[in-house]
Amino acid sequence: MVQATPFLLLLSLALVAPGLSARKCVLTGHWVNDLGSNMTIGAINGKGEFSGSYHTAVSSTPNKIQLSPLQGSQHRINQKSQPTFGFTVKWTFSDSITVFTGQCFVDEHGKEVLKTMWLLRSYVDNMKDDWKATRVGINVFTRLNLQME
């Protein structure tokens, strides 16, 4: 029976790992998060800026949920394969706005994942109610592969 030495284990990990990290995570496309919200990110320009749309699956407003625009930018230093990014969603159905920040990763199975944190700011009538106007949370997005029929 052959026993694996620590050196052989390290060597095998070094040979496998570059294949996973070499895959580039691309923000452009359709995404769905852990709550069922859908997001589309359009082409990223030469400055790293992008626009798109967001359709939330959750809301505390009694108004009808509608598609909302988003604007953002991706950090591009050295063309990193797993870039950081941020975007703002201006909700069309309420007096609130949400900012997201995160990083695009390629997981151990080769799937792209967006890990994000967000702040939602809702309108309040006076400064006394400021304490209840901001919410914070996290979302994980996975690529939504749309089938053309």
Q: What does the pLDDT look like over 62-89, one tens digit per residue?
A: 777 789 999 999 986 556 688 999 999 9
Does residue 6 lie in a domain region? no
What is the span of the domain harbouring residue 73?
A: 26-143
Distance, CA of 141 to CA of 144 (rounded, Å)? 9
pTM of the model: 0.79
Q: Which amino acid is at 83?
A: P
Return the higher-pLDDT residue of 21 and 68. Answer: 68
Does residue 111 form part of some domain?
A: yes
| 119 lies in some domain | yes
CATH number for the domain that contains residue 69:
2.40.128.30
Question: pLDDT by residue (tens digit) across 26-41?
Answer: 899 999 999 999 999 9
- Structural domain includes residue 17: no
What would the pLDDT profile of 40-52 be if each residue is shown by its tens digit? Answer: 999 999 999 999 9
Cβ atoms < 10 Å from Cβ of 16: 10
Number of domains in the chain: 1
Q: Helix, strand or coil for residue 20?
A: helix
DSSP 99-135: EEEEEEEE-TTS-EEEEEEEEEEE--SSGGGGGGSEE
Q: Give the pair of three-digit tokens for residue 25.
A: 């995570």
Structural domain includes residue 11: no
Q: What is the model's pLDDT at position 16?
A: 46
List C-alpha distances in Å: 141 to 40, 113, 114.
11, 6, 5
Residue 137 placed within a domain? yes
Q: For residue 2, tell me if it sits in a domain.
A: no
Q: Which of 127, 145, 63, 51 is nearest to 96 (CA)?
A: 63
Residue 66 lies in a domain: yes
d(CA 107, CA 38) in angstroms, rounded, equals 20
